Amino acid sequence: MKKLESVFKEKYKIFFIGYFALIIGIAFLRFPDIRNELKYFVITDQMLENNRFLVLKYFNELYPDKPPVYFWLLSFLRSISKENFYPLALICGGVIPAGISAFFSFKILKKLWGEEMAYLSTSVLITLPYLFGVSLVLRMDYLMMMFIVITLYIFFDSYYNKEVISDKQIIIFYFSIGSGILVKGGGAFAIPMITILTFLFLDKNLKFLKKLRPFLGLIILMAILGGWFFALSLNEDGKEYVKLLLGQETLGRMVKAKAHTKPIYYYIRQLPLTTLPLAPFFIMGIYSLLKKIKSFKTWKSIDKISFCWFVPNLVFFSFLSGKLEIYMLPLYPAIVIISLRFVEKTWSGTKEKILKKILYINLSVIFILLLALPYYNKNYTLKPVVDFLVESNDRVFSYRFVDAKNITYEIKRDFIEEIPLDRVEKLSEGDLIVVKNKYRAELERLKVEEVYTNKEYSILIKIN
């Protein structure tokens, strides 16, 4: 493999450090989204308030949508600092897992693609605008991705070293899968298993499965999941929680999701957008690999890995009922490899210039987004609304805005009641109403006045 000059490597190391320092700084500038992120605030506060860390609740309802590990992390951070909880949660739950995922991706790439391409492709991966945005959103997807990438790194490193996998590696391998399941769910099991089985089948080496010691793995996973379910069953509402978790939130999402139901071609339609600016190279890269699928055995190792990491998992997730763009997050290292391998094979003499231009485009988009962030916070989030309501002692209601209850704890209220139009006239003088601007006209014929508005939300006050 081609040795890079130490100066070249040092420049990339400084770039990685500087980039993640920038993201950490940005984490302190963001304001949480009302629908999901502030909802997690409520769930976390209720965990701490009720000392119930296994059966999650969202106000008075059971919340079996997600396993508990991510919320344990959030509750720990919330107990340390309420004031800086959000940026700390973004850093520990998103930025750091993103960095660890990139590190283990880099190790795979360095081993099988060379140092130069490992540095270049990892730079493109972490700065891809979509991944940049996801790393600064309060979700557990990057944490699950971290465990998936660690699992795949152990497998591919062992496979190409052609060595016996040690007990330590096997334990970490299955513990990572189990931990990923407790973070987000079955995707942490499905993605590694689909990738590994497809790879071994196409490489005509299914006998390697024995080295993974599946019986021991089954024991480890059963111990992790069995211990969790047993602990749940001992809690109040635990049996109902397990029933909802396995039915509505597992089988239900696969067969008939209660939300995010999308057509089978949803990901094929969305990926050209979320992979920009790599989309043209990615599409052509996939096409070129599919054309040569019959000669898989002769492919370079890096092409085998990226194909098996992406294609079968895309097919699997496309057939599931519930779909979101972010469910594809663990496949992005493969997407970047497929894209940049197409560039390398097509323009081998100028690949470095092209890849650096892609990197510059990524960084330019991030710079523009950074400049726009204060304007976005002021005009399109609830930050000014929360700041206003924190200083007010008046009662707060919402109209046609059920998610407004997610700011309950932030504005130090017991609850924010959603009221219909006929209730507005019966409110007392001085009562406040939070409403989305698209519904504001429905209230203007009543006795209310504006006390605050931005481009998305308004606060109205009841007058006599």
Higher pLDDT, 247 or 259: 247
pLDDT of residue 341: 95
- Residue 102 in this model has a pLDDT that exceeds 90: yes
- Residue 331 in this model has a pLDDT that exceeds 70: yes
Token pair in block for residue 108: 């795979």
Higher pLDDT, 392 or 3: 392
Q: How confident is residue 9, by pLDDT bands cut at 50, 70 and 90?
A: confident
Single out the residue of 35, 22, 8 nearest to residue 406, CA to CA: 35
The residues pairing with 436 across neighbouring beta strands, listed in sequence order, are 457
Q: 40 Cβ partners below 8 Å, 6+ apart?
A: 71, 74, 138
pTM, to two decimals: 0.92
Q: How confident is residue 253, by pLDDT bands cut at 50, 70 and 90?
A: low
pLDDT of residue 53: 87
- Residue 249 in this model has a pLDDT that exceeds 60: no
* 151 close to 180: Cβ distance less than 8 angstroms: yes
pLDDT tens for each residue of 33-82: 998 899 999 999 999 988 888 888 888 788 888 888 899 999 999 999 88
pLDDT of residue 56: 87
Higher pLDDT, 10 or 450: 450
pLDDT tens for each residue of 437-452: 999 999 988 889 999 9
* 382 close to 39: Cβ distance less than 8 angstroms: no
Q: How confident is residue 4, by pLDDT bands cut at 50, 70 and 90?
A: low
Q: What is the DSSP letter of 249?
A: I
Pairing of strands 61-62, 396-399: unpaired
Helices (H), 256-405: 266-274, 279-291, 301-318, 332-346, 351-380, 383-390
Range 274-278 average pLDDT: 94
pLDDT tens for each residue of 364-397: 999 999 999 999 999 999 999 999 999 888 899 9
Q: How confident is residue 1, by pLDDT bands cut at 50, 70 and 90?
A: very low
- Residue 297 in this model has a pLDDT that exceeds 60: yes
Range 257-267 average pLDDT: 77
Three-state SS for 447? coil
Backbone angles phi, psi at 346, to 5 degrees: -90, -40
Sheet holding 396-399, edge to edge: 417-418, 396-399, 432-436, 457-462, 448-453
> Which of 95-99, 249-253, 354-358 bottoms out in mean pLDDT, i.e. has the lowest?
249-253
pLDDT of residue 432: 94
Single out the residue of 458, 454, 429 nearest to residue 441, CA to CA: 458
The residues pairing with 417 across neighbouring beta strands, listed in sequence order, are 397
Helices (H), 129-186: 129-135, 141-161, 167-183
Nearest-angstrom CA–CA distance, 222 and 368: 47
> Which of 142-146, 158-162, 280-284 bottoms out in mean pLDDT, i.e. has the lowest?
158-162
Domain chopping of the chain, boundaries = 6-375, 383-462
Angle at 152 between CA 202 and CA 329, to 5 degrees: 100
Q: How confident is residue 252, by pLDDT bands cut at 50, 70 and 90?
A: very low
The whole-chain average pLDDT of the chain stands at 90
Q: Which helix (H) or strand (E) holds 277?
A: none
Backbone angles phi, psi at 112, to 5 degrees: -110, -5
Q: 226 Cβ partners below 8 Å, 6+ apart?
A: none
pLDDT of residue 268: 94
* 451 close to 461: Cβ distance less than 8 angstroms: yes
Single out the residue of 442, 418, 432, 417 nearest to residue 463, CA to CA: 432
Token pair in block for residue 68: 């508990």
Nearest-angstrom CA–CA distance, 178 and 189: 8
Q: How many of the other CB atoms lie within 10 Å of CB of 341?
A: 23
- Residue 176 in this model has a pLDDT that exceeds 60: yes
- Residue 247 in this model has a pLDDT that exceeds 80: no
- Residue 161 in this model has a pLDDT that exceeds 50: yes
Q: How confident is residue 425, by pLDDT bands cut at 50, 70 and 90?
A: confident
Q: How confident is residue 26, by pLDDT bands cut at 50, 70 and 90?
A: very high
Q: How confident is residue 254, by pLDDT bands cut at 50, 70 and 90?
A: low
Nearest-angstrom CA–CA distance, 143 and 145: 5
SS3 content of the chain, % helix, strand, coil (to 5): 70, 5, 25
